[in-house]
Amino acid sequence: MRDDDTFADDPTSSTTIGGSPLGSRDRRRLPLAVDTQERPIKPVGAPADAPNVLIVLIDDMGFGASSAYGGPCEMPTAQRLADEGLRYSRFHVTSLCSPTRQALLTGRNHHSVGMGVTSEMSTPEPGYHGYRPASAGTLAQILAGNGYSTAAFGKWHQTPPVEVSPSGPFTRWPTGEGFDTFYGFMGAEMNHWYPQLYRGTSPVEPDLLPEDGYHLSEDLVDHAIEWVTTQQALTPDRPFFTYLAFGATHAPFHVAARWRDTYAGRFDSGWDVQREQTLARQKQLGIVPDGTRLAPWAEGVPHWDDLDGTEQRVAARFMETYAGFAEHTDAQVGRLIAALDEIDVLDDTLVIYLLGDNGASGEGGPRGTFREHLVGHGLLDDTADMAARLDTLGDPTTYPIYPVGWALAMNTPYQWTKQVASHLGGTRDGMIVRWGDRIPDPGGIRHQWHHVIDVLPTVLDAAGLPQPDSIDGVAQQPIEGTSLRYTFDEADAPGRRTTQYFEMVGNRGIYHDGWNAVTRHGTPWEMVDTARRPFEADTWELYDLDSDWSQAQDLAARHPGRLEELRGLFEEEARKHHVLPLDDRVTERENPQVAGRLDLHHGRASISFGPSVGRLTEEAAPNLKNRSFVITADLEVGPNVNGVVAAQGGRFGGWSLYCRDGVPAYAYNFVGRTLVVARGSSPLPPGRRQVVVRFRYGGGPPGGAADVALEVDGRVVGTVHIPRTTAYYFSFDETFNIGVDRGTPVIDEYLPVHNRFEGRIRRVHFDLEPPGRGGDDGHLRAVMVHQ
């Protein structure tokens, strides 16, 4: 039978197509050739005039930091985009990293999508669990579903920490939330010299080192440029959405000395003078009205003249480093803008440049620090020690953040800082929008009151896309943002956002029709075990923001009735958006045992790892804090073996079990300040060896003392006493690894790279006592698990 006679010559066939029987001699013959032009396959396409979209997000930058907003940090790219677009003077964020990012990408308030605090501080409460619901689809999902190519580069701080492991799930990673491509890091902050990155969901590390000229911000933009130019070369008919979220200018302030030294001497007059200078420039620019006053100085923060000469010298160098860091970041944005211009797509691109995800950070405390984790554990750095190392500030041996006085200056003219959602220093940031000739008055300033949740509906409005009713079959909860597209054309258009609540770690406020009621509950640099007052005892303030731009005059005593109305409105909004119950803990919540978060290991007291396990974040690794434990390493070694058996953290906090020239050692690094080592006295004999670390915690409050014994084949070869242990976290950027210490080294005795263990690791086993208990040798017997 011929192929073309399959149906035509078979009288017994009874197949029906379109309802016509195919069993009679008089039927029509089927077509033998297909016309492929009649019904071509076409992908979903964006509207014909939909713009490309580029959102750039700077981390931890205050309203008064950039030169585009009157600040001292030279940011010519921001200035160029402002001159060719619009600056917004009353744009607001949430006062912390993860909440702002989740609000930005979902168009919903942060509590509405479970991100009431950073992902590392989440609790089981509905507004704080840290899991974006499928009913709150992201901007990337919407645009990808409407024909856009999508890519994210840089900081991604929205995935629940327990899901940041090789086991996933990956649905809340960037590539699971609508982005075709991701290159960046997953946590709160990152070492810019030795970053630990992901391409998609696969861990990668840069090919270059700091001595080769590597810097994370440059790397991110290199990848963004490569992606955009390739995408446009292959599919120029498809618009793109690029989300570029820098780790800068969040701590650590890492930048080459030449950028820092450009600002040498420029901050010697101090932060009080800087505030006055910045406010004067802001008035000249029209960013704030002429009658704007500096908001009150934060209580407990020294004025510049209160510092002695050494303290001033150290503080000035911190600000020089930060300013160089900020300018370097803006220069990388400039490279991306130039690349878009070169391929002739810049004027077809809606550029949204967000100069901060919260206000400038006061988490460096009154002195600043070369080791950020000190402040996170309630400790101060030593000024004399910092003064002796000023030339190193910003290099790979440091992990710095400036004193809170500079944060207040970078938030000029507003009061308070990051974390403080009640006051504008924590929530008001610069935003610049450029969109070619779609902006009728380039260089204009817009004073309408808006919030970060308004970005998503603005992009959809500009692209001509509706807000979706469902995504992947899941009905969508309402988008709570309001498009600010109307402001592009009308400088004096009445504002369309009339009400917005704020809350972060107990600091709270409400804006309504020009009035603002706020109460500050905590102090940002007092993050550990602070005896705070009851929420009921908090003092509320009242401001008329239409006449008092900077919250300089508290009207609570003059208008008690209005204050009570606004407090009632806050309670309504808090109930509506899952803000309650309030929780004012900060660092304490970074310990999952305290916060009640899901434990990846489900409380197991016995965990074993093979030789290839690595890149586990703090919450995916065994929790060794505030407890006794035993580490048993089953090894096969040759003579004079070198390398790391297991390690967690790095130069600024962590621990490592390693060998050097065959001699085993266990190093414990307390927040980069104290380093102790239990070391053997002779090399391991070649062959199969059992190396054991017995860590006996002394009990008591978090971070108590401990004693360590190092054993080889059942014999103690070294001991050490640790006067203070890590209470809450080893590191936000470094990871747990078997067979290597990635990133910076826990101890400089081995190199930050090329420290892989030279022998064979059969298994590394952990036996864990319950948290808070001291251990003894009877309870902590090592269990050998053979492969």
Average pLDDT over residues 478-486: 98
List pLDDT tens digits, range 342-387.
Answer: 999 999 999 999 999 999 999 999 999 999 989 888 899 999 999 9
Task: Tell whether 7 and 104 lie within a shared domain.
Answer: no
For residue range 298-319, what is the model confidence (pLDDT) as tens digits? 999 999 999 999 999 999 999 9
Q: Are residues 168 and 310 in the same domain?
A: yes
Report how many domains make up the chain: 3
pLDDT for the residue 592: 81
One domain for residues 10 and 134: no
Going by pLDDT thresholds of 50, 70 and 90, the confidence category of residue 39 is low
636 pairs with which residues across the strands?
Answer: 688, 760
Give the residue-averaged pLDDT of 471-499: 97
**pLDDT of 520 higher than 60:** yes
Asked if the model's pLDDT at residue 74 lies above 80, the reply is: yes
Distance between CA 725 and CA 704 in Å, rounded?
6
- C-alpha neighbours within 13 Å on the C-beta side of residue 447: 11
Q: How far is CA 493 from CA 315, 448, 480, 490, in A?
A: 43, 8, 21, 5
Judge if 247 and 336 occupy the same domain.
yes
Looking at the predicted structure, is the pLDDT value of residue 529 above 70? no
Assess whether 71 and 170 both reside in one domain.
yes
Q: Is residue 586 part of a domain?
A: no
- Residue 44 — pLDDT band, cuts 50, 70, 90? confident
Lowest mean pLDDT among 138-152, 374-388, 519-533: 519-533
Look at residue 33 in the predicted model and tell me its pLDDT. 66
- Higher-confidence residue: 14 or 176? 176
Residue 779 domain-assigned (yes or no): no
Token readout for 619 is 């919450």
Contact 499, 511 (CB under 8 A): yes
What was the pLDDT predicted at 36?
Answer: 63
Q: What is the pLDDT of residues 688-713, one digit of tens each?
A: 999 999 999 999 889 999 999 999 99
pLDDT at 593: 75
Residue 572 lies in a domain: no
Whether 592 and 533 have beta carbons less than 8 Å apart is answered as: no
In a domain, 571, yes or no: no
Q: DSSP character for 109? A: -
What is the model's pTM? 0.93
Strands 52-57 and 240-245: parallel
Same domain, 535 and 611: no
Q: Which residues have CB under 8 Å from 532's CB, separation 6+?
A: 506, 521, 522, 584
Residue indicated by tokens 């790397």: 219
Assess whether 313 and 379 both reside in one domain.
yes
Strands 444-446 and 450-451: unpaired
Dig out the tokens for 442 from the structure.
């380039």
The residue out of 563, 591, 616 marking a domain boundary is 563
Give residue 587's pLDDT band: very low, low, confident or very high (50, 70, 90): confident
Phi/psi at 655 (nearest 5 deg)?
A: -145, 160
Average pLDDT over residues 745-769: 96
For residue 462, pLDDT over 90 is answered with yes
173 in the same domain as 24: no
Same domain for 285 and 410, yes or no, is: yes
**Helix or strand holding residue 282 (H, E):** helix 271-285
Task: List, in sequence order, every residue forming a beta bridge with 526; answer none if it has no partner.
Answer: none
Strand partners for 167: none
Residue with tokens 């990293």: 97
Domain with 295 in it = 52-563
Amino acid at 18: G
User: Considering the domain boundaries, does residue 764 fall inside one?
Assistant: yes
Helix (H, G, I), strand (E, B) or coil at 15: coil
According to DSSP H, which parts of 634-753 are helical? Answer: none
* Domain assignment of residue 533, yes or no: yes
Report the distance separating Cα 117 and Cα 97, nearest Å. Answer: 8
Looking at residue 678, which CATH number applies to its domain? Answer: 2.60.120.200
Residues 243 and 297 in one domain: yes
Cα 303–chain centre separation: 31
pLDDT at residue 720 is higher than 60 = yes
Indicate the pLDDT class of residue 149, thresholds 50, 70 and 90: very high
Q: Once rounded to an integer, what is the mean pLDDT over residues 482-502? A: 97
24 and 58 fall within a common domain: no
For residues 427 and 340, give the distance between their C-alpha atoms in angstroms, rounded to a whole number. Answer: 31
CATH of the domain at 513: 3.40.720.10
What gap in Å lies between CA 20 and CA 696, rounded to an integer? Answer: 83
Please give the pLDDT value at position 29: 61
Q: Is 720 helix (H, G, I), strand (E, B) or coil?
A: strand
Q: Which residues contact 337 (CB under 8 A, 6 or more apart)?
A: 77, 80, 81, 346, 351
Q: What's the rounded Cα separation, in Å, for the pair 454 and 93?
A: 10
CB 82 within 8 A of CB 432: yes
Residue 63 has which token pair?
A: 């309203």
The CA distance from 326 to 247, in Å, is 11
% of the chain residues with pLDDT over 70? 93
pLDDT digits (tens, 9 = 90+) for 537-579: 999 999 999 999 999 999 999 999 999 999 999 999 999 999 9
pLDDT band at 753 (very low <50, low <70, confident <90, very high): confident
Q: Is the pLDDT of residue 781 over 80?
A: no
**φ/ψ of residue 430, rounded to 5:** -80, 145
Q: Is the pLDDT of residue 56 over 60?
A: yes
Closest listed residue to residue 499, CA positions, set 446, 452, 449: 449
- Give residue 41's pLDDT band: very low, low, confident or very high (50, 70, 90): confident
Task: Give the DSSP per-residue string, 330-376.
Answer: HHHHHHHHHHHHHTT-GGGEEEEEEE-SSSPP-TTTTT-BSBHHHHH
Domain for residue 609, yes or no? yes
- Sequence-distant (≥ 6) Cβ neighbours of residue 86 within 8 angstroms: 432, 433, 434, 439, 441, 442, 444, 445, 446, 487, 488
One domain for residues 634 and 501: no
**What are the pLDDT digits (tens) for 78-108?**
999 999 999 999 999 999 999 999 999 999 9
Residue type, 146: N
**How many CA atoms lie within 13 Å of 498's alpha carbon, on the beta-carbon side?**
4
Residue 773 lies in a domain: no
Q: Do 390 and 445 meet the contact criterion of CB atoms below 8 Å apart?
A: no
Sequence-separated (6 or more) residues with CB below 8 Å from residue 589: 117, 120, 121, 122, 123, 583, 595
- Looking at residue 594, its pLDDT comes to 80
Average pLDDT score, the chain: 93
Compute the distance between CA of residue 723 and CA of residue 345 in angstroms, rounded to an integer.
59
